[in-house]
A and B are shown apart, each in its own frame.
Chain A
Amino acid sequence: MSRRYDSRTTIFSPEGRLYQVEYALEAINHAGTAIGVMAKDGVVLAAERKVTSKLLEQDTSAEKMYVLNDKTVCAVAGMTADAGILINNVRYSAQQYLKTYGEDIPIETLVKRICDVKQGYTQHGGLRPFGVSFIFAGYDDRYGFQLYTSNPSGNYSGWKATSIGANNNSAQTLLKQDYKDDLTLEEAKTLALKVLSKTTDSNKLTSEKVEFSTIGLDANNNIKLKIWSPESIDKLLKESGVLTRDEEGDDK
């Protein structure tokens, strides 16, 4: 019976639901986790990369972290190929804004642009929705550092700390427990890794399984945006002590 309502994105079911959108959301709940934590002097994004086979060539560049412009970076959960389309689109759109107004696009406006595209695909017939959720981290002059998520329905919301993808509920609970309002970027990094290590299936985090990016201020108070290299992630994992704590956790 439900077949009548779930084969098309444009049609509400008698219960007032859009099945295709819900399926898309469900697909993301099986994707690798991504976590975002905002600090007073920056934002951290961390994501789990699922290694499907050891024969698979390890991609040199990040798979789930993308720079959108000089002041925004995002993490992806869901279908990476779908994300690519949206990312290309919004990168172009951000540059177009820079050309017109001579300044970087505000973060919320940028998020809105992606969400307008996503929303369009929940309504126009014959197309499936985008199977991706994003976490955006960015900086603009109006609101300072910001953290947003968006999902396939085209809704978006601002957060202090949030997660998307597999186990996002438990990650959210952990974040709620440990989040403090005056977190520094350093503390936020540790928190993000700690939560990620507890929510992933594999019991030990390595640079092969983690992607990491930060946005903060450099020595001259300029915005510095960085997607971390595997070597620096390994170093960070070691220094943060997440690895050892994780093993203790297993003992209990």
Chain B
Amino acid sequence: MDIILGIKVQDSVIVATSKAFTRGISILKDKDDKTRVLTPHNLIAFTGEAGDTTQFADYIQANIQLFSMRENTELNSKSIASFIRQQLATSIRSRTPYQVQILLGGLNKGTEPFLSLLDYLGTRVDLPYCAHGYAAFYTMSLLDHHYRPDMNTEEGLKLLKLCNEELEKRMPIDFKGLYVKVIDKDGIRDIDFA
């Protein structure tokens, strides 16, 4: 029931994740951040089986940081997406696959906004906007209708607000609001999303 949403606009990428950490019928935590920063211009948001998610995200984060240290350069978004996909595709055919859904947002080569959707099977698609899980059913039609590729960050956030309202109205449980992050040429920043 976690919400993972991403919107790519003209000069940035907006990533939103729900704050609730649930197990069964209980909300165990209301300030859970489901993202990991990989490089100054790239982050992943994740959902899926508890335990697998953080384990896998930490693993990816460590490997990307190790690459940066070894090669003395930042890996670009497309390569990170490719790397994560390979890990997931290997994992799905192992005895204990990671059950994680991932969304990668960033600036490819520090300039071009990039958004990629990856699932536990190792499927990868680069998209202008996307969502994982039930959130997709509630928000995709809104995004299909209002999204324009030439939107700026401001307009993107306005669209996200629409999505949020729809989710608050239709989701069967309280997801405790959204953490919203914007990735642009200045790096990654949190947005106060009332």
Check B86–A142 contact: CB distance below 8 A: no
B83 within 8 A of A: yes
Q: Residue-by-residue, is B47-78 near A (CB-CB < 8 Å gives 1, otherwise 0)? A: 00000000000000000000000010101101
Pick the most buried of A100, A102, A109, A142: most chain B CB atoms within 10 A of its CB.
A102
Check B78–A103 contact: CB distance below 8 A: yes
Would you give the shortest CB distance from B27 to chain A, in whole angstroms? 38
Check A100–B86 contact: CB distance below 8 A: yes
Report the nearest B residue to A103, measured CB to CB. B79
Check A100–B71 contact: CB distance below 8 A: no
**A-B Cβ contacts below 8 A, count:** 19
Check A109–B71 contact: CB distance below 8 A: yes
Total number of B residues with any Cβ neighbor in A under 8 Å: 10
Q: Which residues of B lie under 8 Å from residue A109 when comparing CB positions?
A: 71
Chain B positions 12-37 with a Cβ under 8 Å from a chain A Cβ: none
Interface size class of A (residues with CB under 8 A): under 10
Q: Which residues of A lie under 8 Å from residue B86 when comparing CB positions?
A: 99-100
A106 within 8 A of B: yes
Q: Which residues of A lie under 8 Å from residue B78 when comparing CB positions?
A: 102-103
Would you give the shortest CB distance from A52 to chain B, in whole angstroms? 42
Q: How far, in angstroms, from A44 to B36 measured CA to CA in the complex?
A: 45
B81 within 8 A of A: yes
B82 within 8 A of A: yes
Check B82–A100 contact: CB distance below 8 A: yes
Check B81–A102 contact: CB distance below 8 A: yes
